[in-house]
Amino acid sequence: MNSNAFFDILNEAASASARAGAAADRGESRDGAWRALPLAGRFEIVYEDSRGVWSTRFLDARELRLGPGRTLLGGIALGGDPARRGGYRGFRVDRIRRLAEEGGPRMKAGILDWLLARAEAQRRERAALVRDLARRNRPRTRAA
């Protein structure tokens, strides 16, 4: 069983979203709901844990989770410590001290803004691909 802060947050978010869904049915707002943005990429991150210890982590990113007062970068752990390898991990973006993409930029500041922009760009690419496929598969009508 995975017992780390990320899964606890997800469980809390799931129960909160269920309550918010019921509230939305009654016409109430959904403040405090988590939102997940798909994000793909392989990153090397320098992360500061809750005790202030810095470590280098490798991540095959899957999503960016936006919640009330907190943003998490989630994905599959690669390399590094065998105890952490292969499992789904979530990292608080405010604790990422340096982020480097495979074959891409290395940054120490503006990490959240860069991740949000990348997620939006990937969303636009996927939407354009879906539109192109829909156009290609659309039945053509011929004038008789």
pLDDT, tens only, 78-132? 876 666 677 898 999 999 999 999 888 899 999 999 999 999 999 999 999 999 9
- Beta pairing class for 96-101 and 106-107: antiparallel
Cα 124 from chain centroid (whole Å): 16
pLDDT at 140 over 90: no
pTM: 0.67
Instruction: Select from 104, 102, 60 the least CA-distant residue to 78.
Output: 60
Side-chain-facing half-sphere of 118: CA atoms under 13 Å: 20
Residue 115, classified by CB atoms within 10 Å of its CB into exposed (0-12), middle (13-18) or buried (19+), is buried
